[in-house]
Structure formats: structure tokens, C-alpha cells
Amino acid sequence: MLSKVTITNELEESVKTFITEYVQIHRLSSFLRYRTDSKIFIYLPTSTTYKLIYDNYKTAVLQEQGSDI
């Protein structure tokens, strides 16, 4: 059964913060750029998947909620 989640500003900020911190820890450096783009590419290890990041996020949220109780 699929459940629906309302994406609040708080949830959006939580996910954004988590992904930003995750990338800072796990990224692989690269100085490759598109010809018309000035941003640096950020690569993650090939073993990293959307599901892995989602599972890590869920674990972090559950640990945070457990410490708040």
C-alpha cells in the first residue's frame, strides 16, 4: 500500500540539508565542466543509489526522533 506525504517547508528543508551534508561527506571531486556552465560536477561513488540515500535519510530521521523522545 502506498502512503501519501505532504511535503511541508520543514520536510523540504530537512531533506535538502541531509542531501547537502551527505554530498559533502561522500562526494568524489571533479573539475569537469560543461562548456557553457561554470558549476563543478559533483560525483558520488557508483555504489550510491537513490534508495541508499533515502534509507540513510530514514535512519537519520528515526535516530533524531528517538533522541527527542
Supply φ then ψ for residue 26, to 5 degrees. -105, 0
Q: What is the pLDDT of residue 68?
A: 58
DSSP codes, 26-52: H-B------TT--SPP-B--TT--HHH
Q: Tens of pLDDT along 5-58?
A: 788 999 999 999 999 999 999 888 776 666 666 666 778 888 999 999 999 999
How far the first Cα of the chain sits from its last, in Å, is 28
Cα–Cα distance, 5 to 34 (Å, whole number):
36
Q: What is the pLDDT of residue 3?
A: 77
Q: What is the pLDDT of residue 19?
A: 93
- Asked if 19 and 53 touch (Cβ cutoff 8 Å), the reply is yes
Q: What is the pLDDT of residue 37?
A: 63
- pLDDT of 69 over the 60 cut: no
